[in-house]
Amino acid sequence: MKLTVVGHWGGYPAVNGATSCYLLQKDNFSLVIDMGSSALSKLQTYIHVTAIDAVIISHYHTDHVADIGVLQHARLVQTYLQGHSGILPIYGHAEDQQAFNKLSHDYTSGVLYHPKRQLNIGPFTIKFLRTKHSVPCYGMRITDGEQTIVYTADSAFKEEWVSFAMDADLLVTDCNFYEDQAKMADDAGHMTSAQGAYIAQQANVKELLLSHLPHFGKHEQLVAEAKQYFSKTVHLAEEGFVWQVR
């Protein structure tokens, strides 16, 4: 499977950037994970809007769902232009019923996921872990039967991440703060570089991708900090970054 980073900013998009959005592909199936601000514009660099097979949402903070509305408009417009009539499933949890209801529109349909149950979408099997965040949010362990990717979505540190991420090929962590800001990160419901790296090391994952990046400091410092705690490969999320095992 192939993961492309579409947007990696935390909170709001930097100039010409986008917030959380990832494109996960296997064979001819394309799953979009989170749909942050400016994500739709960036996403079209990699895929036509009508070629998206499914979307899954970790939680309903704006930096993860801002572009759901415009994605719905895009599907509507393309339906008129191309006669494309597929209904796009958008998976979300229902712990915020009002937000969940907004996933349904003329050509999109909100589909509930039950966090305690395994979910199958196309070639992917997904397990969930409730994160430590200010609103209900779910991290995901996604496998295609060959490789496994774990995505923390937005979360403060919690020890359960270690078992949840055990032996994954790639761990994508919320890295919204620098190592010396652990208290601030915890209060904000996010993690530091060092915390993400600690999970990666304890869970014996193969590679770590630092994402949901802060709007301050030098991001290279996040990598340097993470490398002190995780002995294998550390990647810094950037737009268009592709992870694929060959």
- Residue 26: which of 106, 170, 123, 117 has the closest Cα? 123
**Residue number with CB closer to Zn ion (100 or 229):** 100
**Residue number with CB closer to Zn ion (67 or 154):** 154
Shortest distance, CB of residue 164 to Zn ion, whole angstroms? Answer: 18
φ/ψ of 110, rounded to 5, equals -70, 130
The contact pattern for Zn ion, residues 92-131, with x = CB under 5 A and - = no contact, is ----------------------------------------
Residue 51: strand, helix, or coil: helix
Task: Give, to the nearest 10 degrees, the angle between helix 193-202 and helix 219-227.
Answer: 30
Q: Residues 18 to 77: which contact Zn ion by CB under 5 A?
A: 61
**Residue number with CB closer to Zn ion (62 or 101):** 62
Shortest distance, CB of residue 216 to Zn ion, whole angstroms? Answer: 18
Shortest distance, CB of residue 153 to Zn ion, whole angstroms? Answer: 8
How many chain residues touch Zn ion (CB under 5 A)?
2
- Residue 11: which of 38, 46, 44, 43 has the closest Cα? 38
Please return the burial class of 114, using the count of CB atoms within 10 Å of its CB with bins 0-12, 13-18 and 19+. exposed
Shortest distance, CB of residue 20 to Zn ion, whole angstroms? Answer: 8
**Residue number with CB closer to Zn ion (33 or 74):** 33
Shortest distance, CB of residue 62 to Zn ion, whole angstroms? Answer: 8
**Residue number with CB closer to Zn ion (154 or 207):** 154
Residue 154 to residue 211: CA distance in whole angstroms: 10
Q: Which stretch binds Zn ion (CB under 5 A): 24-32, 90-98, 151-159, 228-236?
A: 151-159
Q: Where are the beta strands (DSSP E) in the chain?
A: 2-7, 21-26, 29-33, 54-56, 88-92, 108-112, 119-121, 124-130, 138-143, 148-151, 170-174, 207-211, 233-236, 242-244
Q: Residues 169 to 228: which contact Zn ion by CB under 5 A?
A: none
Q: Which stretch binds Zn ion (CB under 5 A): 43-51, 147-155, 171-179, 200-208?
A: 147-155
Shortest distance, CB of residue 168 to Zn ion, whole angstroms? Answer: 22
Q: Which stretch binds Zn ion (CB under 5 A): 93-101, 117-125, 148-156, 233-241?
A: 148-156
CB 193 within 8 A of CB 179: yes
**Residue number with CB closer to Zn ion (1 or 5):** 5
Shortest distance, CB of residue 142 to Zn ion, whole angstroms? Answer: 19
State the pairing for strand pair 233-236/207-211: parallel
Q: What order of strands is seen across the sheet that includes strand 233-236? A: 119-121, 124-130, 138-143, 148-151, 170-174, 207-211, 233-236
CB 122 within 8 A of CB 31: yes
The yes or no reply on residue 154 touching Zn ion (CB under 5 A) is: yes
Contacting residues toward Zn ion, per CB under 5 A: 61, 154
